[in-house]
Amino acid sequence: MFLIFGIGHQTNNTIQLKEINHCSRCNNNVKWILSKQTSWFSLFFIPIFPYKISYELFCPICRNTIVLSKREYEEKRLL
């Protein structure tokens, strides 16, 4: 019997914030993007369970990124 399994399948959920933030890197005032990236363990190319979740806030112009905790992500998502 031959089983195919792997890691590396990723899903990315993004939300544009309603508030305008200043980016210190590119010096623009824009609506930043809130992102939740999930990496999955897969079996026969079907995602089974997540093994890594990361939360980020980034500038859509220069991609300046701020890593967030789950609590910070949930707070920003509800605004």
Query: pLDDT by residue (tens digit) across 20-70?
Result: 999 999 999 999 999 999 999 888 778 888 999 999 999 999 999 999 999
- Is 41:79 a contact under the CB 8 Å cutoff? no
- Please report the pLDDT score of residue 47 as a whole number: 85
Pick 39 or 1 by higher pLDDT. Answer: 39
CA 31/CA 51 separation, integer angstroms = 30
Answer yes or no: are the C-beta atoms of 31 and 20 closer than 8 Å.
yes
Q: What is the pLDDT of residue 3?
A: 56
* Burial annotation 15-44 (CB, 10 A radius, 16+ → b, else e): eeeeeeeebeeeeeebebbbbbeeebeeee
Select the more confidently predicted residue: 71 or 9. 71
pLDDT band at 2 (very low <50, low <70, confident <90, very high): low
> Which of 35, 19, 22, 12 lies closest to 79, judged by CA?
19
